[in-house]
Amino acid sequence: MRREAALNAAILVALIAVPAWAHLSDEPFTITLATRAVILALAAVGLNIALGIGGMVSFGHAVYFGIGGYAMGILASHAQSYTPMELFGLSIEGTKSMLVIWLVAVVLSALAALVIGLLSLRTSGVYFIMITLAFGQMFFFFSISWAAYGGEDGLSIYVRNGFPGLNTLVPIQYFGLCLAILLVVLWFNARLARSPFGLALNAARQSPARAETVGLNPMRLRLVAFVISGAITGLAGALFADLNRFVSPTMFSWQLSGEITVLIIIGGVGRLMGPVAGAVVFVALEHLLGGLTEFWHIYLGAALLLVVLFARGGLVGLIAGRPGGGGGGHG
């Protein structure tokens, strides 16, 4: 428990120190990398609530990431072309305000998670993985054929969206904004894991029969967790699209679902900072090895193999040991 707290603090300090150093030594690209890590971490924190606490192996979380991305892309593209969006006879103005975009991203991805969850949570195991994957592919192919918003080529946004009081185009400011969101969500995640809901969800994963016998409905618990999970990943999608000022069907791809899953496994499934540790390692490998060889995924695969074979609790588990008993097992 102690060691995990120290490790968590070290990861957070590194997340602040590296971009601060990069800012002082004028290395904006490093800040962009750190921002990328923070946003991927946020997406994975979302998935980790479903996967780690709830035990739902969703292989389609790119759906929510993509919905967040397209929420940003569509709203901002209408704003930059000064043409309102026509929807069911309603005329909706686009927007360049991040706050509005985030709200739309969160609400839409939560709704999608509700519908997908209602349909797929009837299944479990491999069938659940397959059905979530299938939903992911549906969204992917839909976005490819959606010519109004760039189809296969995606959508470019010229200027990053605005946030009151910040110049989001300055890398360190956008990084700070993303980090602040990640911290708030991590705080929420930590509280959630210890809350009555977290206790029940955690128990429903370990023994559904037990949960039912004390009057709890495992399906309802999982569905609510799935919606929260999707909403967080959706928010990450909006931030990711804004980081790149570009959104494309890749955000809906199964590879992206896989990457979010992989970085949780590398970091530590169900551990609070697992997704963050995983995202940092993932982005570092991607950058360092990606510069050496096009086939860097081979090394990522090797790292994943090592973790699965020798460090089942991921990096956090390797360093901090088993989770402490005091906090729903996820402290």
Partner 1 sequence: MADAVLSTHGITKRFGAVTASEDVSLELRPGEIHAVIGPNGAGKSTLIAQICGGLRPDAGRVELLGRDVTGLATPERARLGLGRTFQVSALAMEDTVLQNALLGALGASGRVWRFLGAALGDRALRAQAEEALGRVGLAEHAAMRVSELGHGQRRLLEVAIALTLQPKAFVMDEPMAGLGADGSKRMTAFLDGLRAEAPILLVEHDMDAVFALADRISVLVYGRVIATGTVAEIRASAAVREAYLGEEA
Q: In terms of CB distance, is 221 or 263 closer to partner 1?
A: 221
Q: How far apart are CA 282 and CA 279, in angstroms?
A: 5
Amino acid letter, residue 238: A
The SS3 call for residue 152 is helix
Cα 298 to Cα 127, 164, 174, 305: the distances in Å are 28, 43, 32, 10
Q: How far apart are CA 11 and CA 182, in angstroms?
A: 13
Q: How far apart are CA 285 and CA 282, in angstroms?
A: 5
Q: In terms of CB distance, is 152 or 212 closer to partner 1?
A: 212
Please enumerate in sequence order all residues whose Cβ is within 8 A of that of 127, keeping only pairs 6 or more positions apart, or say none.
Answer: none
Residue pair 313/268 in contact by the 8 Å Cβ criterion: yes
What pairs with residue 156 in β-bridges?
A: 246
DSSP 252-311: GSHHHHHHHHHHHHHH-TT-TTHHHHHHHHHHHHHHHHHHH-TTTHHHHHHHHHHHHHH-
Q: How far apart are CA 293 and CA 284, in angstroms?
A: 14
Q: Which residues bind partner 1 (CB under 8 A)?
A: 188, 191-192, 194-200, 202-203, 206-207, 209-217, 221, 224, 323, 325-326, 328-329
* Longest alpha-carbon distance in the chain: 60
